[in-house]
Chains A and B, each alone.
Chain A
Amino acid sequence: MESLLHFARGPLFRLCFMIMLLGLARILFLDLWEAYRAYRKAGDKKMPWRLIVRRGLEWAFPMKRIWRNPQLYSFVSILFHIGLILVPVFLFAHIDLWKSAIGISWPALPFRWALWLTISTIVCAAVLLIERLSVKAIHSLSRGQDYFWLILLLFPFVTGFVCANLKIGAGLYQFLMLVHVLSGDVIFLLIPFTKMAHCVLAPFSQIIDALAWKFPPATDQDILETLNPNH
């Protein structure tokens, strides 16, 4: 068990984390590279930058949008995202691991905050899962990936919570820690290849969206020719 744990948080962690880091950089690069090529080919080179920025900010800080969608879903989703980002990055134990491995550290969350954020993230994930299953509209839009990710993300949070806060024996602690680390590794490995890649792609989605409506010059003629047999 101990050697497995060492492997999971040593070589396996480095493998998965590097695949996530470089994989995200790669898809971001490919995304922007294709966007650039689309822009170069476009007939109309005027980009609605103001609109892009406004819409981008609206999605990043959804103060208005929150009231348009089902409110519970919006709130829970936002809270879920906050916990999902803050807890793994700013947990003291994680920062300590980074510090001992490569010597860098950053300010940590206070213990109470981390505790309550973990609990809120677990609860939010459960609510989101129930919502996906029960609300018909959301259920019909969901793919297998969406359920899979909610369940997978629960693993490290639940095991981390139990390990950090409950009085358990050494054997159970190690087993749960192994599950914690392994599920974290799987998450890192899958992020760049699934919908989770939105963590780096989302800021650019408005630009891509705007570019999608730019066509190469004389596209309209080509479409006309294709659609109109008499042309």
Chain B
Amino acid sequence: MNRVHNTKIVLWLITGLAAAIALNRFVFGLGATTNLNDEVPWGFWIGFKLSWVALSAGGFVIGAIFYMMKREKFHSLVRIAILTAFLGYSAFIVSLIFDLGLPWNIWHMIIYWNPNSPLFEVGWCVMLYTTVLVLEFLPVPLENTSRYATVRAFLQKFRFPIVLLGIMLSTLHQSSLGTLFLIMPRRLFPLFYSHIIPIEFFISAIAGGLLMLAFETLALHWMYRRTLETDLVHVLCSVSVWILGLYFLVKIGDVALEGKLGLLLDGSWMSYLYIVEMLLTTVIPFVMFVMPKWCANRRVQWIGTSIGIVGVVLNRIDIGGFAMRDATLWYTPSWMEVVLSVGILSTAALVFLFIIETFHVWDIQPRDPEALSHTPPFFDRVSGTWLGSPKTSALTRHTLAFVISFAVGMALISGKRLHAEGIENVTVRPASGIDTLCINGNRDSQFVEFPHQAHIGWMRSGRISSVTIDSLHYVLGAGADSCIVCHHLDVPGEKLSNCWECHTSMYSEVDFFRHDWHASASGANLKCDDCHTPGETRTGRTARKCTACHPSYTFADTAGYGPNAYYIPSYVDAMHKLCVSCHTIESRVIKDKPNLALCSTCHRTGTPPGLRAGMKWDVSLPRFDNVVLPTPVRGIR
């Protein structure tokens, strides 16, 4: 079995799947890809990403041990550590592009400074540290060519200050990633919240970085079937023991001093989460590595490092999402979030393998066993054909894996209509009120009041300008009857149907006509020629009008949408079109009244006082932007 090849195939498969989802994210947006919402804008993505930064900490730790403390035995690890750090940070930055709502503005923090924000500091540190890592690693690829010898010599001459700068920047932002959460004492569950969260982040990052390096060394030796430098892994594990112990003491000490020990054992979901996290991050790896005999055992090393890494990842995910107040009520990560994150990591792993096979990163440069010149030519099992030279044969199979998993990803991403499926399907509920309708689309305190009775009066009395009426007739194509101007179509058997009866979906277009139902045997069971003119292309234009079969329809043949189109606009779009198109015209004529074509005129924050009495929840609760939290908060306070 070729372990290198099989690992690469798996990585390519994950990368392909993630690429399809990445495409989905950029074409159809975050809403179509993630389960994030206004309550939980930072979910699995952010937490998982924070752990990449933590696990990349090996770069500066080994740098410090080797260059500052002059421990020569770590020599063979330095380049791998720096490469890991570089790829970890690059993956972090790449994943930010997917995560940010407006990724093309990522450069803003360089120009528009906000020194009060921890994210500002993190952003700058990550940017600078990635540059430092490039400078640290650049001499390695430059070894292969003599052309840039001066650049290489220059970088090596200034290696010490560069390493020093790297250590400083890492120390700064590893801790300030924790600082981000200092501003959320009321959002983060008390067990997870701490005033010294920056310090906890820093210590756990050092432990995570060391464990990650030990794990990587084990994995690389397993993959390339090389004899293990057990000594070095042993040293890494035994060093990390002390840091894990320190981390445990700091965490538990903090919980005890803050008087939160009671929460630890109260049997809630959060307490279990905390206990599991502590077991994985510190207790289990600590017990495994603290005994010298166990620490030298390779199987124990495998298990211990893996558990420790999972623990650090879990810690970051907890703090980034799961331990947020009531997060689990509103949010479970979608499979696409998970796959995209893992996909970025597997791409980084592929780059890692490419670099260690191409450049002199390890003490002995490994090679893909298939790429060695003495291996026999590889024949494809299915077609029996020769797949080309070793390099091409690997490429042939890897690209095939990518293509297949990309296609599978495309098949999985959404349902009937590619761009509408990801949008949350919110069913419209009718507006309340009689004379004045209260349109409460988002079910929050942002009502839009629509004086229905008044509009009827204004229509009848001619207070609405004739220009508007004329334009309305033109836009909506309705007759002179004022009701039909807005109630442009009725459900069979009704007169003056309400808006929500046809515009049933809040944000997505509605399949109003249902062609498949009309054409199916179990539906209207119509033949094509029953509606379409024979001998012409079967389109909406060549079909009979709806009113031919449904004479009760009082249908205004509106431009763009109408019986010719399968889809009618969402409730939000329909309402906006109906209101704004009139009020835009009206606002040109009437100058002394509030401009109702402006969003803020109708969308006022706050509740009309008369309505507040009957509200089901208390709107005086602390509010985060426009989110109002329901009063019965489960079990946490």
Contact = CB atoms under 8 A, between A and B. Distances in A.
Interface of A: 1-2, 5-6, 10-12, 14-16, 18-19, 22-23, 26, 29-30, 33-34, 37, 92-93, 96, 100-103, 108, 111, 114, 163-164, 167-171, 173-174
Contacts of B411: 11-12, 14-15, 18
Interface string B387-401: 011001001100110
Given A30-B388, A92-B537, 6 more contacts: A14-B413, A16-B407, A34-B388, A101-B417, A167-B528, A173-B528
Contacts of A163: 528
B465 interface: no
A100 B528 contact: no
Interface in B518-551: 519-523, 525-529, 534-539
Interface in B385-441: 388-389, 392, 395-396, 399-400, 402-404, 406-408, 410-413, 415-419
Contacts of A37: 389, 392
A103 B418 CA distance: 10
Contacts of B525: 169-170
A90 to B, nearest CB: 12
B566 interface: yes
Contacts of A6: 416
Nearest to A174: B520
Contact of B539 (A15, A29, A92, A168): A92
Given A30-B399, A102-B419, A167-B529, A14 B410 contact: yes
Contacts of A100: 417, 566-567
Given A22-B406, A92-B539, A93-B537, A169 B521 contact: yes
Interface of B: 20, 388-389, 392, 395-396, 399-400, 402-404, 406-408, 410-413, 415-419, 516, 519-523, 525-529, 534-539, 566-567
Nearest to A168: B527
Given A18-B407, A170-B520, A26 B527 contact: no
Nearest to B407: A18
A19 B527 contact: no
B382 to A, nearest CB: 9
A10 B61 CA distance: 51
Contact of B408 (A2, A15, A93): A15
A29 B416 CA distance: 32
B360 to A, nearest CB: 24
24 contacts: A2-B516, A5-B516, A14-B410, A16-B407, A18-B406, A18-B407, A18-B410, A18-B411, A19-B404, A22-B402, A22-B403, A26-B400, A33-B392, A34-B388, A37-B389, A37-B392, A93-B538, A101-B417, A164-B538, A167-B534, A168-B528, A169-B527, A170-B520, A170-B525
